[in-house]
Structure 1
């Protein structure tokens, strides 16, 4: 095959099939697959050769202070030996000092080798993310469990819900109306991504914008499809990340403490050497031997024995002046520091990280899961009041999937009006999500946005007072938990029993909505719809008021609704429109697949017409909210002189809104020159990039890919900054490895991120980083004080000796 002139995502499916010389219904032949494997190799990540043990051991002694101590141990041993020879005694006591020095150095070397051997585990963790097998079309037949390592470019692969993607592939055909893939660990995007088959006509395309591509290591969460393999092994996106991690490990630089200790060792060596030389030279008169004749000195002779004697004295002074206990004291300080940090939920994986954290000048933080809770929640919802000109915005408290976390502000509507009942019904029934408890957190099954809607329903309650009291008593008694993990959502269950779901019209990217047909208590069917607000308004004919009356949507009403949508979106909220329809025509008495109108539901092309003449109910605003303690932590960083930069894979408007909310930026602040997408920043010249990074104040970089994060960290390090980088996904691993100190999330972090990091946060909380920095500064200050003490002691000792 010739080199491909364009990226696969910009090709049509037909062009891809032609380029790879394969048919969608036949696949590759076994012979052709073997030929391509000879060219492209196996579909697996390369195993990087680690450093041999002997090299790791030698590197532990490549340190100025260690070299000084080695020389001191050797000289101490020689002096002890010579002293034993001269006195005809060679007791062990004479060798205590050199033996102790060597034991200290060996212990430090063992710790260093252990840390180095753990450094490359991130690459092994990447391999664990790879799929083991896949359903592949070969010789016209599907092989259900072909080993993933045998895939080659051009292979036809079928993916279903729950499958892990075995290679980078171009989506060729959808077998369901919707295909969603969970790729947050690779891109940092919080929500599952909707995929399709249409080409993307952008040459330099961001990873998040490649909507017709699925990537190795990601997971299908909704739908099924047939794909064409386009990249395998090290050519996949996850393979590129492995290369970046390996390159970053080669760029690892000395910690600030090691640099200062090397500088201290060099100066100490020079100072002690000069002093010893002076001590030896000022005794030059004692090198001479005089014969006494008639009581007067005569016949001056040079005495080699006396010269050697005073040289040994000078050397002994040098050995005594060298602080042999310094490495042990430093190691002890760092070890005690790790214990203190562990109590504050900061688990240190490498001892030098304790000191590096204290020197940090810039914190580059991921947004999702670190600054935010990584749990979608409804913040507010909007409906019309008694007139089309009267609006109601109802605020909701709570930032997690725990139904008891917060509630609805000023909620006195126990007897919910018809409009609020419609909102609760749609959120509960037009929903496929669930909630479970993992022992630490309430988590979502299905789409995070749908789980947040179910939590909203629990906070709203139900209009039936008897049912409401029964649900409340059950909640108080059972605390929501059916068993060790399953969460009982009583209000949602009540709505689902009341409005029995009998059919689903799945989401698609054309109409941007999904809906369900539900049998109402009255016996007739109702269509419950949720989706993009603009799309529902285009197909909507009426709007429901608070009292349940229906008013035709005129232009002023439409503009009012769009204005409210704009206001909610500007706050960084993800907005969903809610609507319903009572007049369903042929489907009004639909009950099962045997109904004559069932054929209408088999063709997704009919869904838009079914979802027409809708009755618009309201808008729900959701977001991944910031953690409550983050604004204060940001303020503490500013007061401590630490610059904070947010680097996220999320979209620009959401990132900016969150940064304003956590007080990284003030609410009215102009963000020109402070907010960039990764692509925008990389397009600037190096001089412009440095100028932006040098400017005071916070920065936010959105839509950042792994290479963008790594380049930002590299630029900061080249400017002399001590950089702490936080992250939780595979996409963060290269930057975590390159940063002076990489900080991974312990709860939501991937194993790849944890292994690439120097420190792990047990609570995934940004404020923990700030606490750890304060502890690191204290430890660093203590070590500097000890080194000053050592210097003073050395000077006093030399002065007394002289």
Structure 2
């Protein structure tokens, strides 16, 4: 336990920032050590910075600020922050949009913040305190309890037998005079009494199972060896038996049941008519472009509509992918990295470029430095259509766009964003052959139906559109253009992104690991109840739990799915009732303290609880 706590504390230390850019007493300190921060300091954060303390967002220097805080809250997507105050007293961490927390990372935008809490008073510091307190708790394992119980019973039995053996030999050291039969007329032999007492003690010594510790240690060592063969390393021998006694497994979701890598699951576009639609299913669960592909896909079948989708995914995108050992990681927003992987799976329509990209990829695979992943198809689209301006994402219009110079010499606006928001601003639809028709009520209902189908399966849906009639931006080339002043004010972005041409919808998710479904079935077969505790939102958690088989698709989740706040608000009797229900449970929007309370309640109910996860939260 102490070793686990030390490792967790070391992991927490690695998450913490070393220094920060601080404004103090009117002077700018570019690299102030984070440990010297005090409440009231003014800190500037930029893309890629680790947050050094819990801070209130005072001023946004860009139109959008997004923070990756999955290490603290378990949310699979970066969270958008703002300066708007939160007025709820008992507010969960995920809802504190005006706060940035120590140990999290800025992935988009920059801002000025005011330090609120430092050190052990931060949210990550509170986790450190909980870990330290948990390490001081000493709980006996089931094996130790059973051995203590067995030892107590064995001692009682041996003591009783020894007393009986000593007592039944009383005639050998106590004798009566047979003449008068008086009870007081007896003879006592201390020497013989001691002799038979020694026999009783010798019997007790002989009855003690001296080989029991050796046998138990050997059995546990064999169990440890067998588990090691299955890639399960056990540090303490009693843990082998404890694992075998487990009745409840509490599991994190993000990064444990799922890969913590966003990937495209399917995408939808129109066919040859506004009454027909096409849904393409995408395989693969990582950022590796070679992981899976698109079902029934051929590069030669890429029509004008799919060209437009690939172009928007590749160019309206600021992410990248790098390889850390054998693990592919996203540089930038996970959703944008997933879109670039989709483009690589879609390919390019130019056969010569396709062959060249294939040869370049083979050369990159043989190179010594493989940390940078070559995205040949994305590079082809980026070189084909030069990006000349960017309209940054904001919370109001829920989209971002870029103006690009097409090979024809004309400018085009490429837009991606929340599907509902994009749909509201679309007036036309692009069909498979590239023709553009007005969006009628039928085509709008088809889009909404597909959107509902994808959203109900826990997919995050992004809409894609473009616009060719750019009016004063038709010949825009750089910041020296007369129309550039309109791009300086985000208020104008919604007007620019109007009367769009709808291209398609892409559904993304943090997919479950391939081995999870079988593991859930094995747990059910072994009589072990599985409880999922995650910081992610409720609908996503429920969709993942249904997909991995914790619940069936038609299960009524009332009474089986709670947010951390809802569960903690229940009376103790109802909490125990909920936790005693058979089959699985899911708790979403759970904070570290909620996880600790749930595990404590389960242990008080007599359950043997195992907790599994990939993070310190």
Is TM > 0.5 for Structure 1 vs Structure 2? yes
1:371-430 CA-partner distances (Å, limit 9, x unpaired): 222221111101111221211111111112121221111113514111000001111111
CA contact (8 A) 2:272 2:433 kept: yes
- Which residue of 575, 597, 609 corresponds with 2:461? 575
Report the Cα distance in structure 2 between the residues aligned to 1:215 and 1:350, rounded to whole angstroms. Answer: 35
1:744-788 CA-partner distances (Å, limit 9, x unpaired): xxxxxxxxxxxxxxxxxxxxxxxxxxxxxxxxxxxxxxxxxxxxx
CA contact (8 A) 1:499 1:521 kept: yes
Report the Cα distance in structure 2 between the residues aligned to 1:598 and 1:557, rounded to whole angstroms. Answer: 35
Report the equivalent of 2:481: 595
**1:161-240 mapped onto 2 (5 Å cutoff):** 161-240=47-126
Report the equivalent of 2:180: none
1:339 and 2:207 are equivalent in the alignment: no
**1:431-442 mapped onto 2 (5 Å cutoff):** 431-442=317-328
- Which residue of 235, 251, 259 corresponds with 1:349? 235
CA contact (8 A) 1:482 1:488 kept: no
1:260-316 CA-partner distances (Å, limit 9, x unpaired): 01100101111111122222222223335999xxxxxxx975332332222222222
Report the equivalent of 1:359: 245
SS in 2 for 1:562: helix
Report the equivalent of 2:309: 423
Report the equivalent of 1:713: 599
1:195-252 CA-partner distances (Å, limit 9, x unpaired): 1111223222111111110011212222211111222333221122223223333444
CA contact (8 A) 1:200 1:212 kept: yes
- Which residue of 142, 163, 181 corresponds with 2:28? 142
Report the Cα distance in structure 2 between the residues aligned to 1:607 and 1:118, rounded to whole angstroms. Answer: 51
SS in 2 for 1:346: coil
**1:33-182 mapped onto 2 (5 Å cutoff):** 116=2, 119-123=5-9, 125-182=11-68
Report the Cα distance in structure 2 between the residues aligned to 1:545 and 1:481, rounded to whole angstroms. Answer: 42
Report the equivalent of 1:631: 517
C-alpha displacement of 1:167? 1.6
SS in 1 for 2:113: strand
SS in 2 for 1:392: strand
- Which residue of 392, 402, 406 corresponds with 1:516? 402
Any gaps of 5 or more consecutive residues in structure 2? 178-184
Report the equivalent of 1:268: 154
Cα distance, 1:265–1:647 mapped onto 2, change above 3 Å:
same
Report the equivalent of 2:298: 412
Report the equivalent of 1:75: none
CA contact (8 A) 1:481 1:487 kept: no
C-alpha displacement of 1:702? 1.0
1:673-707 CA-partner distances (Å, limit 9, x unpaired): 11111111122221122222212121111111112
SS in 2 for 1:263: helix
CA contact (8 A) 1:480 1:489 kept: no
Report the equivalent of 2:372: 486
CA contact (8 A) 2:57 2:82 kept: yes
Report the Cα distance in structure 1 between the residues aligned to 2:214 and 2:390, rounded to whole angstroms. Answer: 68
SS in 1 for 2:344: helix
1:445 and 2:331 are equivalent in the alignment: yes
CA contact (8 A) 2:411 2:474 kept: yes
Moved more, 642-651 or 551-560: 551-560
Report the Cα distance in structure 2 between the residues aligned to 1:388 and 1:529, rounded to whole angstroms. Answer: 21
SS in 1 for 2:300: coil
Report the Cα distance in structure 2 between the residues aligned to 1:225 and 1:645, rounded to whole angstroms. Answer: 38
CA contact (8 A) 1:458 1:490 kept: yes
Paired residues, number: 610
Cα distance, 1:481–1:680 mapped onto 2, change above 3 Å:
farther
CA contact (8 A) 1:192 1:447 kept: yes
1:564 and 2:450 are equivalent in the alignment: yes
Report the equivalent of 1:461: 347
Report the equivalent of 2:192: 306
C-alpha displacement of 1:120? 4.7
Instruction: Note the aligned Cα RMSD (angstroms).
Output: 2.2
1:544 and 2:430 are equivalent in the alignment: yes
Report the Cα distance in structure 1 between the residues aligned to 2:298 and 2:9, rounded to whole angstroms. Answer: 55
SS in 2 for 1:712: helix
Report the equivalent of 1:283: 169
- Which residue of 384, 399, 416 corresponds with 2:285? 399
CA contact (8 A) 1:283 1:310 kept: yes
Any gaps of 5 or more consecutive residues in structure 1? 1-114, 292-298, 732-802
SS in 1 for 2:530: strand
Report the Cα distance in structure 2 between the residues aligned to 1:122 and 1:630, rounded to whole angstroms. Answer: 24
CA contact (8 A) 2:61 2:112 kept: yes
Report the equivalent of 1:380: 266
TM-score normalized by structure 2? 0.94
1:541-568 CA-partner distances (Å, limit 9, x unpaired): 2111111111122333323322221111
1:245 and 2:131 are equivalent in the alignment: yes
CA contact (8 A) 2:401 2:416 kept: yes
Report the Cα distance in structure 2 between the residues aligned to 1:149 and 1:372, rounded to whole angstroms. Answer: 34
C-alpha displacement of 1:439? 2.1
TM-score normalized by structure 1? 0.73
CA contact (8 A) 2:19 2:32 kept: yes
CA contact (8 A) 1:185 1:728 kept: no
CA contact (8 A) 1:461 1:468 kept: yes
